[in-house]
Structure 1
Amino acid sequence: MSGFLNLSWQNLLRHRTRSILTMLGMAASVGVLFSVLSFNQGFNQGLETELERTGLHFMIVPSGCAHEVASLVLHGAVIPKFLDTKVMQHVRSTSGISLATPILVAQLPDPQRGKIDLIYGVDMAALSAIKPGWQIDGKTPTQENEVLLGYEVAQHEKLQPGDTLRTTEDGRTLIVGGIVNLTGSQDDAFVYLPIETAQALLDHPSAATAIGVKVDDPSKMVEIIESLSAAVPGIQIVTMGEVMNSISNLAASAKALSLSIVLIAILISAVGVMNSILMAVFERTQEIGMMRAVGASRFDIFRIILEETTIIALVGGLIGIFLSVLGSRLIETFVRSVVPYVPSGELISFDPKIAAGSVLFIFIIGIAAGVYPAWKAAKINPIEAIKG
């Protein structure tokens, strides 16, 4: 450690409490900045991964809001509109389509248990295509009265494959065929069953909330969509890219708000650094005057004070990154509790580029905050300072 840097460090140690509090202020700012940037990156990557996992190229739904479609695709939102599954005839007769499956998502009350099940009716033969990442304990339902439970449902009801989930009003007994292993997404909260069974339970024999479609050649998807739109009035077709853009726009709004809060926190931290260093300068006026009297130049004084600011900014920044990574799971848990949709998987992880960029940014802010106190210290007149 150079002489000037060592002197700067010793000066900070003389006022440990103030220095620590100032560093913690910087740590909080860089920690929040790192978390927001990391979460945004993880969100976009997770969203893209989940859309790829659906195995679908576009969704056919009743005319409505694209945000509702996005929610349906990604976590089975309940949409108060239905398609007539007769649309499937037009879909399957359209050239270039390799997979088309109706999906029926709804809430199903169970008076006996005093609960409401979230059911997800689907063609079980197509389940592996639209949920390729799932691992199932037991088997995929092959009978009309068999169901597949999401992990959270199975844990809450304490059910295993072969157990009875419920007996419906029409006397139908629903048996657990299998349980989906933990996905960390909203998929864990649903009861999956053959779409014919779901239609019967809801008394909507030809209803679907959406039809998922996969094409043979993605390059011809625009032609296929135009053909379907012309053949079937009253439908809305949304591609996975449009779903991603829709949710990404919502995430961008949240990101803008978060960054605004971060900038305010950084501004407060910068003022705190400036105040802390200025107080240190004023308290050491006579000391600085003696240093000038024994040969220290204005630049030497400026450098010492600026190095104190550098230490505070760098140490505070590194502490902030460490605490953010350490508390990433808590941050993710909080975000998932307040944000309507968050992709599954780890969203906040250590990224060297984001970490380095966050520390560099807070370092520049810290240096900028320390320039005025350093200039003020360099301007001290040695004779007046010694006289007090």
Structure 2
Amino acid sequence: MTSYLKLAAKNILRHRTRSLLTMLGIAASVGVLFAVLSFNKGFTEGLAVELERTGLHFMIVPSGCAHEVAALVLHGAVIPKFLDTGVMEHVEGTAGIDLATPILVAQLPDQQRGKIDLIYGIEMNVLEAIKPGWEITGTIPRHEHEVLLGYEVAQHDNLQPGDHFSSPAAGVDLIVAGIVGYSGSQDDAFVYLPIQTAQNLLGYPQSATAIGVKVDDPTRIGAITESLTSTVPGIQIVTMGEVMNSVSNLAAAARALSLAIVLIAILISAVGVMNSILMAVFERTQEIGMMRAVGASRWDIFRIILNETTILALVGGVVGIVLSTLGARLIEAFVRSVMPFVPSGDLIRFDPIVALGSVAFIFVIGLCAGIYPAVKASKINPVEAIKG
């Protein structure tokens, strides 16, 4: 077996440029396949982590689109509909609810600082319960005019606990009570205020974009949501599982298109491998005839040619995995720029199972692409080949 591989490798090195271009084509297609599969896995895992970070089991919003709810939950999108916070009485009076808090999300332009603040109004007494993983420098706001800054906001304005936070609203003096430690998520980009302060600052009294709810027993979510829907008109309840499905569905079309493009690229690579090996077979017709004349069997010729295709496929596949891993951050940056929502964190990571699966797939494709040239070579008549 080793002698066949050595001979196949020598044959590949005879035409270095052609072999290199063939391998690069394989590497490109395998690299993209690995990146897409890794991203899909990382997207699902990252989305689950993002939802877990919310600390809530479901959201109550005005009747509308579930995609808007997903955007609100995961990265604070502004929804142009509001709930009357009077709904809180019905919510808090429902059996099985551990905590509930109105949430008011809005954008607040500040011309003095030349930026737009993302305001997140919430009842501060529930923050520790729904954000247990937060590391806060300072304290959670306890007074009306205190704010809690996300990491990015504090870094941008170079603020520390006790500093004044400028506000575009005249006569409102906000004090930084605390700063949320870096989380690598959308939490870093918000200015967190007590819900009443946010309502007054934004001019939306008694209004909320959503009500976040955490239940005592997650197994009873279905019964609780059904009870709320039947007693409170004009609301929509979306669980975190439904949010996950909603966002996953939004990304599914893009992932399906990516996989289709990858499969086309792999087929083109397979044709390239077949063409390269066929050219080598035609160029070595007399050589193969001599090998047959001195005792090489058709099976020997078949194995040598098939080994050449598998070497091209395997080397190209490994190179593709390496290149994709090294360029993961660039690929991820591009995907984030074109997709409406991507979970935070590194989504494209080296995964041995995904890498082995990608290489195994291209190995099979290489074998299939090499069968025809191998059969063609094994059928060469030694007498006719020597005569030329």
TM-score by length of 1: 0.96
Point out the more displaced range, 109-118 or 263-272. Answer: 109-118
In structure 2, the CA distance between the partners of 1:137 and 1:338, relative to structure 1 (3 Å rule), is farther
Counterpart residue type for residue 290 of structure 1 = M
Correspondence 1:40 to 2:34? no
**3-state DSSP of counterpart to 1:137:** strand
1:237 maps to 237
Q: Which moved more, 1:268-277 or 1:157-166?
A: 157-166
User: How far did residue 299 of structure 1 move?
Assistant: 1.3
Instruction: Indicate the residue corresponding to 1:83 in structure 2.
Output: 83
**What per-residue deviation string (whole Å, max 9, x for no partner) do you get for residues 80-108 of structure 1?**
01101010011111111110011000011
Q: 2:51 aligned with 1:51, yes or no?
A: yes
Aligned equivalents of 1:208, 1:201: Cα separation in 2: 13
Give the C-alpha shift of residue 296 in structure 1: 1.1
1:188 aligns with 2:188: yes
Aligned to 1:128: 128
Deviation at 1:142, TM superposition (A): 1.9
Q: Distance in 2 between matches of 1:246 and 1:171?
A: 42
Which residue type is aligned with residue 63 of structure 1? S
Q: Distance in 1 between matches of 2:235 and 2:109?
A: 29
Question: Which letter maps to 1:286?
Answer: Q
The residue type equivalent to 1:2 in the other structure is: T
Question: Please, which runs of 5 or more residues in structure 2 have no aligned partner?
Answer: none
Corresponding residue for residue 100 of structure 2: 100
- In 2, distance between residues paired with 1:235 and 1:314? 56
2:72 maps to what in 1? 72
Aligned to 2:370: 370
Structure 1 187/224 Cα, relative in aligned 2: closer, same or farther at 3 Å?
same
Question: Structure 1: which 4+ aligned runs deviate by more than 6 Å?
Answer: none
Given the alignment of the two structures, is residue 221 of structure 1 paired with residue 241 of structure 2, yes or no?
no
CA drift of 1:165 comes to 2.4
What is the CA-CA distance between 1:225 and the residue it aligns to?
A: 1.1
Counterpart AA for 1:252: A
2:283 equivalent in structure 1: 283
Offset of residue 25 of structure 1: 1.1
1:167 alignment partner, SS class:
coil
Within the alignment, does 1:317 sit opposite 2:321 as a pair? no
| Pairwise CA RMSD | 1.5
Name the CA distance, whole Å, in 1 between partners of 2:74 and 2:41.
18
Aligned pairs for 1:202-213 within 5 A: 202-213=202-213
Contact 2:109/2:168 (<8 A) preserved:
no
Q: Is the 8 A contact 2:111 2:168 kept in 1?
A: no
Instruction: Confirm or deny: 8 A CA contact 1:54 1:129 kept in the other structure.
Output: no
Corresponding residue of 1:157? 157
Give the SS at the match of 2:55.
Answer: coil
- Map 1:288-367; keep pairs closer than 5 Å: 288-367=288-367
Displacement of 1:6 in angstroms is 0.5
- Which moves more between the two structures, 306-315 or 15-24? 15-24
In structure 2, distance between residues paired with 1:160 and 1:16:
61
3-state secondary structure, aligned to 2:166: strand
Query: How much does 1:365 deviate?
Result: 0.6
Provide the TM-score with structure 2 as the length reference. Answer: 0.96
Say whether the 8 Å CA contact 2:31–2:321 is kept in structure 1.
yes
Counterpart code for 1:281: V
Answer whether contact 1:140 1:177 (CA < 8 A) is retained: yes
Distance 1:49 1:283 in 2: 57
State the Cα deviation string for residues 305-330 of structure 1 (Å, max 9, x = none). 10000101111111111222222222
Q: How many pairs does the alignment contain?
A: 388
Partners of 1:345 and 1:114 lie apart in 2 by: 28
Residues 273-314 of structure 1, C-alpha deviation per residue, up to 9 Å, x if partnerless? 111111111111121111111111111111101000010111
User: Does the 8 A contact of 1:137 with 1:179 survive in 2?
Assistant: yes
Instruction: Give percent identity, aligned residues only.
Output: 76
Q: Deviations over 1:131-178 (max 9, x none)?
A: 222222232222222222222222222323232221333311222222
